[in-house]
Structure 1
Amino acid sequence: MAAAEREDIRGRAAGQAPVPLSVLDLVTVGSGGSAAASLRTSVALARLAESRGYHRHWVAEHHSMPGVASSSPAVILAHLAAHTDRIRLGSGGVMLPNHAPLAIAEQFGTLEALAPGRIDLGLGRAPGTDGGTAAALRGAARPDRGGDDFPRQLAELTRFLDDDFPDGHPYARVHAVPGPVQGATGRPPLWLLGSSGFSARLAGELGLPFAFAHHFSAANTLPALDLYRDSFRPSEVLDAPYALIGVSALAADDEREARRQAMTGALSMLRLRTGRPGLIPTPQEAAAYAYSEGEREFVEGWLRNVVYGTAEQVRKGLDALVARTGADELMLTSNAHGGDARLRSYELVADAYGLPHGAV
């Protein structure tokens, strides 16, 4: 891998941020809103992130969730690429078991051709949905073989991206296009994503960058990062571990408003975890909801892992998280009902860290 590509993986700290800051976009759909409006917000967010010096903007694959419109990351990323010029764009992630490796290689080869040097391919091994939806996605011809099949799928995808199946392999004459067979000289860097130890160990053994879902698996963050670093073997991609963590963070102009907005995401997660997924509730809905004692306990526990408050409070919380985890990059997801609140949050965080306007 070229030095420039390694630099893009490692990121570039800007302003006063201790590590590069990036964006995780779930393309959330709020009550009274629509997928079309949420996708317009994603374009506005990508433009804001680019102009304020955020390093990358990733989109996460989810299915059959009314409050999320990011079921097709490759399609969304192509749209975002057409509306931005510099920021890195990628999947956080594509759920590999849901797709044939050749299909992913061709989708991301196309993205790389559209936005050369700006595409990341982050891969997860979870379905990004419930079991019934996963079965519908994969169909009878592609039964779920479980997480143990992930390394094989990953190796196959890598072969397609590099167009280097050995002679005699059944796929030796199958080419992912766009790709090397058409003269492509680069391909998207691979990242492994995870919320437990499986992908952490595999990323370390393969010498790949690793992204951990701290925003919904905070109890596993430190063990997974330790496992990744302990397992790491230098590769052509990286000579040392590089760990990114996803963080739920929400800044507002005052502490009360930040709490009001954060409660919408907390109630949405409560409903999801209790089998009642829906659109992201409004702040008024979240305030009026009659929480049981157990539900209140869940919500308060959830909020303990959300960094929210004024811009300065969020900055302090993020700095403490970097100090505690040793993360090399923070990827912020701001789960709130409305697009305006999300955009304002990223603007405030950029201001708190002195990220430049019109960043190059």
Structure 2
Amino acid sequence: MRQAEQSRRRATVGDEHDTIRGKRTGSAPVPLSVLDLATVGTGLTATQALRSTTELARQTERRGFHRFWVAEHHSMPGVASSSPAVILANLAAHTSRIRLGSGGVMLPNHAPLVIAEQFGTLEALAPGRIDLGLGRAPGTDGATAAALRRSGRAPEGADDFPEQLAELTRFLDDDFPAGHRYARIHAVPGPVQATADGGVQSPDRPSIWLLGSSGFSAQLAGALGLPFSFAHHFSAANTIPALELYRESFRPSAVLDRPYASIGVSAFAADDEKQARRQVLTGALTMLRLRTGRPGLVPSPDEAAAYDFSPMEQEFVDGWLANVVHGTADAVREGLDGLVKRTGADELMITANAHGGEARLRSYELIADAYGMPTG
């Protein structure tokens, strides 16, 4: 691809951030988006969980949420989003406006060419709507991470992530230099199709984001001039330091002329405080079991309420819930507004994990109502 064409495609990716920077949906201080894990509750199937994710994507599109991401996790019975590209293809068929993406794809688990092909296909299915959020963790335990690799070896370490990212970006842009071992290899669908006789160049390519819960990806995203999404929902103590590092490290690029940061936040609204507490306790118990090596399905609210927490377990749960914005719609709005003020985030990526799909649907409806977001 000629340099001018490459720069134009990358600039087009950056246009999305220029368009939404400062955008308000209703009275929300920043654009609101969704991160979903297709959670599977006790007594429910993966089919039901994935149908709930599809309905949630359709609902949040109607209500004016900006983007809808799904996350890659493995070997977790309560999470059905192990294959983001497959889920996103389905969501693309059931939506028409909302941006769709990965939050994220764990790059060490995959060959960069495979990811470029998958997300090039998604871009062809939903032009101008695809985000490729990338993480450097495996999204699972070490043994499962090794099983994900054909060689059976554990994924490369963090030091290899920049090299993997550079390779993936070159596949997406089809711009390996002459003499490179991959110069004659092309990710399809992709830019190479424009060089064939009669080929037409697509103006779009997936928008690359870096995701993280520490300073590594924050600094790398800043140095490369890429948008950054921080996992505040499970690393709240590191949020402000990581965002500061991102902004300090930022260098303008063909994608962005200034930093653009979103933060993932657990938020759950219900008709009253008691209902909200019952729902978020299911997520806290799920995390407790995961952190203690007992991953399982998401418990029901009754099961979570009846669980006999030890003092140490209660301490963990209290600490976890302290970072979950929950309560009535007005209380959640107040909490989200306060988070934007404290962090200076350009966008909020809300995750609302609960036992069943109906509760999640209701939560996002209430949040949208609290901000006066459209109902069409």
TM-score (norm 1): 0.98
The verdict on how the C-alpha distance between 1:4 and 1:57 changes in structure 2, with shifts beyond 3 A counting, is same
CA distance in 1, matches of 2:149, 2:231: 24
- How much does 1:143 deviate? 4.3
Kept after mapping to 1: 8 A contact 2:147/2:153? no
The residue number in structure 2 matching 1:304 is 322
The residue number in structure 1 matching 2:231 is 213
Spell out the pairing of 1:45-84 with structure 2 (5 A cutoff): 45-84=56-95
CA distance in 2, matches of 1:9, 1:93: 21
Q: Which amino acid letter does the alignment assign opposite residue 361 of structure 2?
A: L
The residue number in structure 1 matching 2:106 is 95
CA distance in 2, matches of 1:122, 1:218: 20
The verdict on how the C-alpha distance between 1:200 and 1:245 changes in structure 2, with shifts beyond 3 A counting, is same
The residue number in structure 2 matching 1:108 is 119
- How much does 1:107 deviate? 0.2
Kept after mapping to 2: 8 A contact 1:252/1:309? yes
What secondary structure, in the 3-state scheme, does the structure 2 residue paired with 1:33 have?
A: coil
- How much does 1:9 deviate? 6.5
Once the two structures are superposed, residues 281-340 of structure 1 have per-residue CA deviations (whole angstroms, 9 ceiling, x without a partner) of 000000110100000110011000000000000000000000000000001000111110
Q: Does 1:182 align with 2:193?
A: yes
Number of residue pairs matched by the alignment: 358
- How much does 1:139 deviate? 3.1
5+ residue gaps, structure 1: none
CA distance in 2, matches of 1:60, 1:30: 17
- How much does 1:182 deviate? 1.1
Runs of 4+ with >3 A deviation = 3-12
CA distance in 2, matches of 1:149, 1:295: 36
CA distance in 1, matches of 2:164, 2:183: 16
Spell out the pairing of 1:1-360 with structure 2 (5 A cutoff): 1-2=11-12, 4-7=15-18, 10=21, 12-140=23-151, 143-183=154-194, 184-358=202-376
CA distance in 2, matches of 1:112, 1:11: 25
5+ residue gaps, structure 2: 1-10, 195-201
CA distance in 1, matches of 2:126, 2:192: 18
What secondary structure, in the 3-state scheme, does the structure 1 residue paired with 2:85 have?
A: helix
Kept after mapping to 2: 8 A contact 1:111/1:119? yes
Q: Which amino acid letter does the alignment assign opposite residue 49 of structure 1?
A: T
CA distance in 1, matches of 2:330, 2:149: 45
Moved more, 181-190 or 30-39: 181-190
- How much does 1:140 deviate? 1.9
CA distance in 2, matches of 1:266, 1:142: 32
The CA RMSD measured in Å over matched residues stands at: 1.1
Q: Which amino acid letter does the alignment assign opposite residue 247 of structure 1?
A: V
- How much does 1:102 deviate? 0.2
CA distance in 1, matches of 2:139, 2:335: 28
Once the two structures are superposed, residues 120-161 of structure 1 have per-residue CA deviations (whole angstroms, 9 ceiling, x without a partner) of 000000000000000000132664221100000000000000
What secondary structure, in the 3-state scheme, does the structure 2 residue paired with 1:355 have?
A: coil
The verdict on how the C-alpha distance between 1:300 and 1:6 changes in structure 2, with shifts beyond 3 A counting, is closer
Kept after mapping to 1: 8 A contact 2:228/2:261? yes
CA distance in 1, matches of 2:211, 2:25: 24
CA distance in 1, matches of 2:296, 2:329: 29
Kept after mapping to 1: 8 A contact 2:145/2:154? no
CA distance in 2, matches of 1:23, 1:13: 16
Kept after mapping to 1: 8 A contact 2:146/2:152? no
Kept after mapping to 2: 8 A contact 1:11/1:55? no
Once the two structures are superposed, residues 164-201 of structure 1 have per-residue CA deviations (whole angstroms, 9 ceiling, x without a partner) of 00000000000000000113332011000000000000
